Amino acid sequence: MIIINVKENESIEKALKRFKKKFERTGVLKELRARNFYEKPCTARRQMRLKAAYKQKLYAQKNY
């Protein structure tokens, strides 16, 4: 469960923004969307490999 302590004189908008950031970092929504449909393990592994290759390509470009 995510707990956000609202500080004194802090606006609700700022507290809500902090809550949204924390919620996004937990990955709950991403996992929920992933569980909507069954994905074969080989397909999931392929997606992970493609994502890793893409990240590595970006990292290599950044370091040049």
The residue length of the chain stands at: 64
Contact status, residue 15 vs residue 6, Cβ threshold 8 Å = yes
Task: Output the average pLDDT for the chain.
Answer: 92
By the 8 A CB rule, do 10 and 4 touch? no
- Six token digits for residue 25: 């970092």
pLDDT of residue 50: 98
pLDDT over 90 percentage in the chain? 83
Domain residue ranges of the chain, discontinuous segments joined by +: 12-63
In this predicted structure, what is the pLDDT of residue 13?
94
pLDDT at 1: 84
Amino acid identity at 39: E
Looking at residue 64, its pLDDT comes to 77
